[in-house]
């Protein structure tokens, strides 16, 4: 059991001042924050989010921007497919929902890039609905405080029921949800829970003497040397150019492992983040219509077998186009 009163009282005084929680922030702007926060820490998201909503405060404003400009504005947040999906999401909301973020979870789930967590986060944080919002932090707090386990098991559909059962029955439910998430983010952290500062009087894991985890040790995600890093380097080159670049300009961005570089470029093409021109040069997505003096560009998706893609030939990939986060 997690008692709402003690959690809400703690949140009232200890919550972080995050810009997307302030009064006057629209549902769209909250949705943007949730896209950005999915895999990126708050400190890196905050400045980008502030610039983003000042530049594109509404879905229609975002939809009117070019996909390439959206990718540029995404900057170093990582996992840039999110930027592409956010742009697609803005377009659908602008065209099909009168520029207003839908309120109900099922409609939210139909939007590009919106999954179980994001749909409920928007319904809860933007529209104050009593729906369970379950992220990694919430799952960890519930695993410890309610179930007496050191770590949450792999996510299942039951997690939603678990958290729904904890929600207060009154209008404080949305605040309870954000407070639970905040507790996991700032106090009940994965590696070093600060139990001495925890507002919960009852915690099953603590009362059982902190039994060891039965989950396999968590692997630290490295970045250096990964395909993600190589993709980032290649995108950096294209972000800095408003015209297509020759292959050699991408090649110098990563010389350590040429096969890895080819694989990374291939995956960017498959993801639709990068396009290849008919003459074999490369550009950010959406910048393929006007290639200047060397003619129009084509996206990877438009390539067909036998195309003359210039001196490097048409690109082919073994990556699944359907692969998504
Ligand atoms: S007492 Fe410790 S382990 Fe339990 S919920 Fe609080 S911070 Fe987490």
Is 275:299 a contact under the CB 8 Å cutoff? Answer: yes
Q: Across-strand partners of 274?
A: 284
**Neighbour tally for 305: CB within 10 Å:** 6
Looking from the CA of residue 199, the nearest atom of ligand 1 is 6
> Tell me: the pLDDT tens digits for 22-72?
999 999 999 999 999 998 999 999 999 999 999 999 999 999 999 999 999
For atom 2 of ligand 1, which residue has the closest CA? 195
3-state secondary structure 51-101: HHHHHCCCHHHHHHCCHHHHHHHHCCCCCCHHHHHHHHHHHHHHHHCCCCC
198 lines ligand 1 (CB under 6 A): yes
Looking from the CA of residue 197, the nearest atom of ligand 1 is 7
pLDDT, position 284: 95
pLDDT, position 222: 85
- Spot the catalytic one: 6, 34, 182, 305: 34
pLDDT, position 90: 98
Ligand 1 centre to CA of 134 (Å) is 17
199 lines ligand 1 (CB under 6 A): no
34 catalytic per annotation: yes
Cβ-proximal residues to 248 (8 Å cutoff; 6+ apart), any chain: none
Question: How far is the C-alpha of 148 from the C-alpha of 221, rounded, in Å?
Answer: 27
User: Vertex 196, ends 192 and 199: CA angle to 5°?
Assistant: 105
> Tell me: the pLDDT tens digits for 266-303?
999 999 999 999 999 999 998 866 544 444 333 333 33
Stretches where the chain sits below pLDDT 50 are 291-325
205 lines ligand 1 (CB under 6 A): yes
pTM of the model: 0.85
pLDDT, position 315: 32
Question: How far is the C-alpha of 186 from the C-alpha of 82, rounded, in Å?
Answer: 25
């Amino acid at each position: 059991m997690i008692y709402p009163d003690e959690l809400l009282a703690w949140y009232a005084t200890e919550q972080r001042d995050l810009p997307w929680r302030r009064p006057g922030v629209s549902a769209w702007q909250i949705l943007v924050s949730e896209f950005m926060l999915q895999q990126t820490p708050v400190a890196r998201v905050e400045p980008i989010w502030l610039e983003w909503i000042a530049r594109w405060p509404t879905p229609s404003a975002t939809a009117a921007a070019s996909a390439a400009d959206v990718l540029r504005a995404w900057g170093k947040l990582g996992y840039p497919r999110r930027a592409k999906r956010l742009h697609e999401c803005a377009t659908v909301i602008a065209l099909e929902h009168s520029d207003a973020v839908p309120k109900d979870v099922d409609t939210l789930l139909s939007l590009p890039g919106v999954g179980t967590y994001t749909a409920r986060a928007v319904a809860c944080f933007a529209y104050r609905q009593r729906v369970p919002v379950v992220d990694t932090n919430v799952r960890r707090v519930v695993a410890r405080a309610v179930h007496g386990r050191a770590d949450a098991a792999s996510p299942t559909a039951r997690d939603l029921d678990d958290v729904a059962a904890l929600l207060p029955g009154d209008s404080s439910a949305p605040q309870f949800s954000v407070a639970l998430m905040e507790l996991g983010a700032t106090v009940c952290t994965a590696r070093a829970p600060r139990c001495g500062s925890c507002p919960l009087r009852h915690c099953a894991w603590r009362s059982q003497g902190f039994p060891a985890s039965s989950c396999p040790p968590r692997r630290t995600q490295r970045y250096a040397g990964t395909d993600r890093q190589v993709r980032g380097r290649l995108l950096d080159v294209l972000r800095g150019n408003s015209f297509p670049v020759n292959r050699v300009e991408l090649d110098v961005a990563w010389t350590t492992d040429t096969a890895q570089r080819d694989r990374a470029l291939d995956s960017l093409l498959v993801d639709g983040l990068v396009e290849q021109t008919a003459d074999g040069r490369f550009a950010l997505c959406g910048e393929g219509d006007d290639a200047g003096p060397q003619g129009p560009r084509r996206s990877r998706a438009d390539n067909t077998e036998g195309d003359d893609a210039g001196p490097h030939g048409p690109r082919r990939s073994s990556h699944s186009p359907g692969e998504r986060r």
